[in-house]
Amino acid sequence: MGNLRSVQKALEKIGCNAIISNDIKTISDADKLVLPGVGAFKDGMKYLQELNLIEILNKKVIEDKTPLLGICLGMQLLANKSYENGETVGLGWVDAEVVKFTFDTQNLKIPHVGWNEISFQNIPNRLFSNINNHKDFYFVHSYYFKTNENVTIATTNYGFEFTSAIAKNNIFATQFHPEKSQTDGLQILKNFWEF
Amino acid sequence: MKICTKCVMPNTKPDLHFDENGVCDACKSQESKNKEIDWEAREKEFLKLVKSYKSHPDYDCVIGVSGGKDSTYQVLKVLELGLNPLCICFEPTIPTEIGRKNLENLNNLGVDLIHIKRNPLVYKKLAREAFVRTGDNEWQNHLGIFTTVPKFAVNFNIPLIIWGESPQLEYGGPASSKTRNTLDRQWLEEFGGLLGNRISDMIGVDGLTQKDLSLYTYAKDEDIHRVGVTGLFLGYYFKWDLREVLKKSKEHGFEVSDRAVETTYENFENLDCYSNHLHDYLKYVKYGFGRATDNACLDIRLGYIKREEAVRLVNKYDGIPPKKAIKKYLEYTGFTQKEFDKIVDSYTNKRIFRRDENGKFIKDIDDSLVRKEEYLVK
Amino acid sequence: MLKHRVIPCVLLKDWQLVKSVQFDSFRTIGHPTSTARIYNSRNVDELIVLDIDASLNQEEINTEIITDIANECFMPLTIGGGINSIEDIYKVLKAGADKVSINSKAIEDKEFIREASSIFGSQCIVCSIDVKKQNNSYKVYNRKEGVLNIDPLKLALEYEKYGAGEILLTSVDNDGTTNGYDLELLQYFQKKVTIPIIINGGAGVPQHCVEAIQNGADAVAAAYIFHFSQYTPNDIKQEMANHDIDVRILHNKGVDNEQ
């Protein structure tokens, strides 16, 4: 379930040859990796474990420094752990936790669904080349990425400023869906592809 | 799929309705043309209207022309009525030799003609994008005609525009359109075939700016009102008879092709542009009927052929890809055959045409699509 | 700031995209592929397509066309029409939709909404309510059964309880009339429903969309204005922005007043 085909379609649109795979050999041969995801954190990690992919991902991403782009749940999986439906351990590549939105005083709906702006942190990261600041992207999530590491490259306001995109060496990730965010979203995929 | 019991138009044509006897809108319209409409009264109405517009010291009206049989006829009719027209030609996408000759001929009838040589770089960008985006390779040309004619009307301060046949009256269309005698901005938005795309949506395509597209931008409302621009359909006021139009035009120098035009069996329409033949073919891939069907239906309605003959003509001529036109189109636009095929495939009707087990459309020996059994024209 | 959305909502009939007037006469908008392509290049916020053939004539859901449309959309796509089972939802999502819109099935079986939202997530489930005014009160309308003795506000609140993510609220009386949205209907709903409401039916000029948001709608849906008028989605958003409504505006490269 989810957006595998949408991501593939978007990548094809920008001229990239994308393969959907959960096969260790294919992943091992890849130049770049995209980790999409829609749904629960627990299910996501279970899926990776059952298919025995954690080892190869660690090797490709942490050791070989293969560029990786995480999308939505794919970004959240990079954290140490998530508090969705109990505690689940994540990939641990970024010192972060995944926490649910709670709005005691504000009248804001959960999940956070729709078009919202991102604000670049400091000098815009190369992931955002050819994209103006404060452009809208499509979000759909109930949990957000909370980190103390200096990896946040964009934030979004929904009651407060939360991390909407990160970059750490060869690892990039967005909480929003670039494959559903039309021109600007496709530009992000293009930028990642052209690194 | 249903086919009209009188002509051979299928109900895959958008917005075409059939009555309880299986007769289509366009046939009914033709009947009303012959029986219900008081043409004498309409002619009187027209002359009265025109008199009130003869206020201009120079030109009495503006006519959009191509040099084809219709615009030649329009000019002749207007000259007969004692009017002095300013003719505007928005040049076709890929002009033909015979088209050029016929435009010269129209000029030689004795009218001032403005032949717009638009920016070819801008036009080509529009043409390429329109084909991909809307599936209509002539989108930018329709738009060009419908915006430049009123633009010149405004700039020359000539309120009256005379258009030719009313498409909806001749070919059927949404009910609200058939009683219209005027072509204004709203008509263009609703019935002008813009397909939901507007010129402002083309800004940014290949670097096109708003200024690049000023020729295709409709005149401002306040200017239209100030000048009092009104576009009348000649075909609403005078009974439009195809053969009469052709006869008269030929008598005054209009030349027909020495062979049938690609995609159909007749030789007197769409002579001025190769891109138009592709446009007709695209209609076939999208809706399962092409120009041969259009011609055959009109011939039935005018009483020139019987239905069985029409069925034979449609099955013989409809749907054959126009090889020469496609070649010229690829040369003009720069699309490769592969890119072109991909775009055409994305518009090809999956309901009507057969595909193989890989989902690829099956082609016949003459490269035409193969219809499913239940979509054959009988 | 989360933005208010402007969403084309069109019907699929006989493999063509059409729009209706008061749920009755249909007019062709265009070929699904070109229409989807054009919407995508116009950067509309989302797209809703309702399959009338599947819903009215009990035909099979047209997954082929859904895929053709989805292939052109790089923005969220909602598909409705004839969705009667969990299997149907799987089919539609697999074909490329991001959300599904459920109408008749939800009226007769609210548990279905609970089941669907727990499997697919509530953000994936849109409940569609068609409304007609009868004797000065609003009643739910169904294409097959006609006017039902159900209060649309009550129904919306129940859908919310059972896990729906959004409500698509369509005024049958205003549909295709271009006279504006049913503002009274919005006022009747006045903020009582906490999930987003997309109002549909009646838009003719950008000002109508402004009025809809000002009267409580979270998003606006329309068909006529995008196809048969001179107004583009950006014109509508510009008008909304002029009235301090948060919208997503895209400046095309090449417009002289780009910031």
Residues of chain A in contact with residue C245, where contact means CB-CB under 8 angstroms, are: none
Best CA proximity match to C201, nearest among C97, C99, C142, C129: C129
pLDDT given at position C192: 87
Q: Which of B78-82, B226-230, C189-193 has the lowest mean pLDDT?
A: C189-193
The answer to whether the Cα torsion of B141, B143, B146, B147 is positive or negative is: negative
Within 8 A by CB and 6+ apart from C72, the residues are C33, C36, C37, C39, C40
Q: Tally the residues of chain C.
A: 259
For residue A79, give the H/E element and its range. none
pLDDT given at position C254: 43
pLDDT given at position C253: 46
Cβ burial, residue A90 (10 Å; 0-12/13-18/19+): buried
C250 touches chain A (CB under 8 A): yes
Percent of chain C scoring above 70 in pLDDT: 97
SS (H, E, C) chain B: CCECCCCCCECCCCCCCECCCCCEHHHHHHHHHHCCCCHHHHHHHHHHHHHHHCCCCCCCEEEECCCCHHHHHHHHHHHHCCCCEEEEEECCCCECHHHHHHHHHHHCCCCEEEEECCCHHHHHHHHHHHHHHHCCCCHHHHHHHHHHHHHHHHHCCCCEEEECCCHHHHHCCCHHHHCCCECCHHHHHHHCCCCCCCHHHHCCHHHCCCHHHHHHCCCCHHHHHHHCCEEEEHHHHCCCCHHHHHHHHHHCCCCCCCCCCCCCCCCCCCCCEHHHHHHHHHHHHHHCCCHHHHHHHHHHHCCCCCHHHHHHHHHHHCCCCCHHHHHHHHHHHCCCHHHHHHHHHHHCCCCCECECCCCCECECCCCCECECHHHCCC
CA dist., res. B233 & res. B210, Å (int)? 31
Compute the mean pLDDT over every residue in chain B, rounded to the nearest whole number.
Answer: 89
Tell me how close the Cα of C166 comes to any Cα of chain B, in angstroms: 27
pLDDT digits (tens, 9 = 90+) for C123-166: 889 999 999 999 899 999 998 889 999 999 999 999 999 999 99
Burial of A119-152, coded b for 16+ CB within 10 Å and e otherwise, reads ebbeeebebbeebeeebbbbbbbebbbebeeebb
CA dist., res. C203 & res. C180, Å (int)? 5
List the structure tokens of A24. Answer: 């260790």
The answer to whether C239 and C207 are in contact (CB under 8 A) is yes
Contact C255 B211 (CB under 8 A): no
For residue A78, give the H/E element and its range. none
pLDDT given at position B13: 86
- Tell me whether residue A72 is one of the annotated catalytic residues: yes
Q: Which of A121-130, B102-111, B356-365, C15-24 has the lowest mean pLDDT?
A: C15-24
Helix (H, G, I), strand (E, B) or coil at A130: coil
CA dist., res. B218 & res. B148, Å (int)? 8
What is the β-pairing status of strands C197-200 and C219-222? parallel
Instruction: Over range A169-178, report the average pLDDT.
Output: 96
Instruction: Over range C47-60, report the average pLDDT.
Output: 86
Taking 70 as the threshold, does the pLDDT of residue B170 lie above it?
no
Residues of chain A in contact with residue C95, where contact means CB-CB under 8 angstroms, are: none
Name the residue with tokens 């034979």. B312
Residues of chain A in contact with residue C5, where contact means CB-CB under 8 angstroms, are: 114-115
CA dist., res. B129 & res. B216, Å (int)? 15
CA atoms within 13 A on the CB side of C138: 23
A94: left (phi over 0), alpha (psi -120 to 50) or beta: beta
Tell me how close the Cα of C244 comes to any Cα of chain A, in angstroms: 16
CA dist., res. A47 & res. C45, Å (int)? 32
Torsion of CA C132, C135, C139, C141, to 10 degrees: -40
Contact A1 C120 (CB under 8 A): yes
Tell me how close the Cα of A145 comes to any Cα of chain C, in angstroms: 18
Tell me how close the Cα of A37 comes to any Cα of chain C, in angstroms: 13
The letter for the amino acid at A77 is L
Instruction: Over range C92-102, report the average pLDDT.
Output: 92
Best CA proximity match to B233, nearest among B108, B27, B49: B49
pLDDT digits (tens, 9 = 90+) for C171-211: 999 998 999 999 999 999 977 888 889 999 999 999 999 99
Contact C255 B209 (CB under 8 A): yes
pLDDT digits (tens, 9 = 90+) for B148-159: 999 999 999 999
Taking 70 as the threshold, does the pLDDT of residue B176 lie above it?
no
Best CA proximity match to C72, nearest among B271, B265, A6: A6
Taking 50 as the threshold, does the pLDDT of residue A1 lie above it?
no
Of residues C25, C31, C226, nearest to B286 (C-beta): C31
Compute the mean pLDDT over every residue in chain C, rounded to the nearest whole number.
Answer: 90
Helix (H, G, I), strand (E, B) or coil at A106: coil
Distance of CA A142 to the CA centre of its chain: 14
Taking 60 as the threshold, does the pLDDT of residue A93 lie above it?
yes
Instruction: Over range C116-122, report the average pLDDT.
Output: 87
pLDDT given at position C251: 64
Active site residues of C: 130
pLDDT digits (tens, 9 = 90+) for A7-49: 999 999 999 989 988 899 999 999 999 998 777 888 889 989 9
Of residues B174, B195, B198, nearest to C232 (C-beta): B198
C37 touches chain A (CB under 8 A): no
Contact C28 B208 (CB under 8 A): no
Distance of CA B289 to the CA centre of its chain: 15
Torsion of CA A111, A112, A114, A117, to 10 degrees: -170
The answer to whether B56 and B228 are in contact (CB under 8 A) is no
DSSP state of C3: P
